[in-house]
Chain A
Amino acid sequence: MHSFEFTRPENAATAVNMAAQAKTSQQGADIRFVAGGTTLIDLMKLDVETPARLLDINRLPFDKIEQLPDGGLKIGATVRNSDLANHARVQRDYSVLSQAILAGASAQLRNMATTAGNLLQRTRCMYFRDTATPCNKREPGTGCPAITGSNRTLAVLGTSDQCIATNPSDMCVAMAALEATIHVQGPKGERAIAFGDFHLLPGTTPHRETVLEPGDLITHVTLPPPRAGSRQVYIKLRDRASYEFALASAAVVMNQTGRNVSYVRIALGGVGTKPWRSPEAEAVLAGKPANAANFRQAAEAALRNAKPQSENKFKIELAKRCLTHALQTAANG
């Protein structure tokens, strides 16, 4: 591990000012906030991340889950994943979020990992994690060996000819379906970012994973008021039953009026270069009967633009069945 200076800023403003001196934003930057450390310390050991300065934000006052006046929920940046997943209101009103978090990592890691850290979780692509190989995300312009190499677990949606790395988060998939908002304090003040606008597609700049700018500190995430009577399901398919990243996952938030779908939000995990909200699948179902044929059509729409690589064509059908199953489970209540 490269040496670094370890600082604990006493308040958010100081943290922002210190981080604003970084040349680039959060991921891969020379100045990094650290909270749980489960991604960052791992990548620092591999020399994938080599920050010169770590700013420990664990003791900033961002560790609360609070009810908002509008009935929504405010989740602090350093709330641990286990606390979020086991929170009574989250389990009652946003159960897809609880299910998704509990489907990820291990109990120990969930005790460490934070809300903001999970938003910035980095890909498990083996080429990204191995500094002996080229990687456009890690070292822009060096190439992507995954496209012609080992890509069984990599993305089929949102890829580019520069990067096919999968976003590994489960939490983010649920937050995409719940239409969360990410709140940031930056050098120019505070701002709110819609969940769908937060993560970037790789395109020609796979090293840029979010819209965060140098100094931007995620302070909290808000969830809109819960959908009364909604059925929420997270289904995750993987190589083993527990403690493994998704090959495909699906988050569904659905309301029915009689037999028809009156509201539905759908997001996929394990198949996209970012947490994959699917307005195409939602459009297929809006106002339609909640039945197997329509669920399958929605899944077809979600994966219509999927681009398989040499080893991961199976993921397209897997994701379709995953989503169909999630929708059916939601419909069955």
Chain B
Amino acid sequence: MSDTQQPNSQNPTRREFLSTTGTTAAATLIAAYVPLPAHASEEAVNNQPIIDGAVPITLRINGKERQLRIDPRTTLLDCIRESVLLSGTKKGCDHGQCGACTVHVNGRRVVSCLSLALMHDGEEVTTIEGLGTTESMHPMQAAFLECDGYQCGYCTSGQIMSAVALLKEPCGPDDASVKELMSGNICRCGAYANIVEAIQQVRKRA
């Protein structure tokens, strides 16, 4: 795998670097699992080898229709990360307890690890990649930056997806109400105070 994979070796991104080095070590352990390179094109995704028992599914992710073939066991989280190759959504506990995998389905926040992708056939999914871009951030992304609402960053995309959904949910004006509605997103670094500040900043400016 690493022989054929050609990441940009002049200026490898962190993700390409991890993908390449990780593949070498993992290949001998899990021969059956063939991860696609991080920069794989969409065509390559759609041409994935068909796994036994794979079934077709159509998801509209960040406004773009994706036709995939997946194992029925694939969670929405794994589908987003491994089939669609959008790695902004993170896998934390994988049991619905940490919120790192929070995405929006039909405009509502859910934990993507406790849902099968097949249950969302034809539905609209928004991930952190669909919120904004580096050049044009969603106000919540900008507020997290401004308020330093993160440390290691692993929970951040889930925090932001929850925070954006919260803006449309019934929520009292005080910090305590925000904390209550954000309790499904755990931050091991403990950036909570700044996260609440970022959310309140966006709410006050709205």
Report if A3-B111 is in contact (Cβ < 8 Å); known contacts: A107-B162, A108-B184: no
Bound together, the chains give a CA A108 to CA B102 distance in angstroms of 8
Segment from B7-15, B80-88, B92-100, B148-156 that makes contact with A: B92-100
| A108 with B162: CB separation less than 8 A | yes
Q: Does A105 sit at the interface, judged by CB under 8 A?
A: yes
| A109 with B96: CB separation less than 8 A | yes
Q: Choose from B114, B180, B185 the contact partner of A112 (Cβ within 8 Å).
A: B114
* A71: min CB distance to chain B, Å: 25
Bound together, the chains give a CA A4 to CA B116 distance in angstroms of 12
Give the contacts of A234-255 with B (CB-CB under 8 A).
241-243
Chain B residues with CB under 8 A of A242? 179-180, 183
Bound together, the chains give a CA A242 to CA B176 distance in angstroms of 11
- Interface size in chain A (residues, C-beta < 8 A): 27
Q: Choose from B55, B116, B180 the contact partner of A41 (Cβ within 8 Å).
A: B116
Bound together, the chains give a CA A147 to CA B162 distance in angstroms of 39
Q: Does A56 sit at the interface, judged by CB under 8 A?
A: yes
Q: Does B166 sit at the interface, judged by CB under 8 A?
A: yes
Chain A residues with CB under 8 A of B119? 34, 37, 56, 58
| B115 with A3: CB separation less than 8 A | no
- Interface size in chain B (residues, C-beta < 8 A): 32
Report if A108-B109 is in contact (Cβ < 8 Å); known contacts: A38-B114, A41-B116, A56-B119: yes
| A112 with B162: CB separation less than 8 A | no
Q: Does A45 sit at the interface, judged by CB under 8 A?
A: yes
Chain B residues with CB under 8 A of A45? 94-95
Report if A6-B118 is in contact (Cβ < 8 Å); known contacts: A38-B96, A108-B184, A243-B183: yes
Chain A residues with CB under 8 A of B111? 38, 106, 108-109, 112
Q: Choose from A6, A105, A109 the contact partner of B55 (Cβ within 8 Å).
A: A6
* B83: min CB distance to chain A, Å: 16
* A168: min CB distance to chain B, Å: 13
Chain A residues with CB under 8 A of B185? 106
Chain A residues with CB under 8 A of B162? 107-108
Chain A residues with CB under 8 A of B109? 107-108, 111
Give the contacts of B51-94 with A (CB-CB under 8 A).
53, 55, 71-73, 75, 94
Interface-centre pick from A36, A86, A107 (highest chain B CB count, 10 A)? A107
Bound together, the chains give a CA A38 to CA B75 distance in angstroms of 12
Q: Does A211 sit at the interface, judged by CB under 8 A?
A: no
Q: Does B108 sit at the interface, judged by CB under 8 A?
A: yes
| B72 with A108: CB separation less than 8 A | no
Give the contacts of B167-199 with A (CB-CB under 8 A).
169-170, 179-185
Looking across the interface, which residue of chain B has its beta carbon closest to that of A6? B72
* B69: min CB distance to chain A, Å: 13
Q: Choose from A4, A5, A37 the contact partner of B114 (Cβ within 8 Å).
A: A37
| A107 with B184: CB separation less than 8 A | yes
Q: Does A192 sit at the interface, judged by CB under 8 A?
A: no
| A111 with B108: CB separation less than 8 A | yes
Q: Choose from A6, A108, A241 the contact partner of B116 (Cβ within 8 Å).
A: A6
Contact with A along B111-149 (1 / 0, CB 8 A): 100111011000000000000000000000000000000
| B181 with A107: CB separation less than 8 A | yes
| B99 with A106: CB separation less than 8 A | yes
| B95 with A108: CB separation less than 8 A | no
Bound together, the chains give a CA A268 to CA B44 distance in angstroms of 55
Bound together, the chains give a CA A1 to CA B169 distance in angstroms of 34
| B114 with A41: CB separation less than 8 A | yes
* A320: min CB distance to chain B, Å: 26
Q: Choose from A4, A36, A106, A243 the contact partner of B72 (Cβ within 8 Å).
A: A4
Interface-centre pick from A3, A54, A106, A108 (highest chain B CB count, 10 A)? A108
Looking across the interface, which residue of chain A has its beta carbon closest to that of B53? A3
What are some 5 contacts across the A-B interface (CB < 8 A)?
A38-B111, A107-B182, A108-B110, A109-B96, A112-B115
Q: Does A42 sit at the interface, judged by CB under 8 A?
A: yes
Chain A residues with CB under 8 A of B99? 106, 108
| B55 with A42: CB separation less than 8 A | no
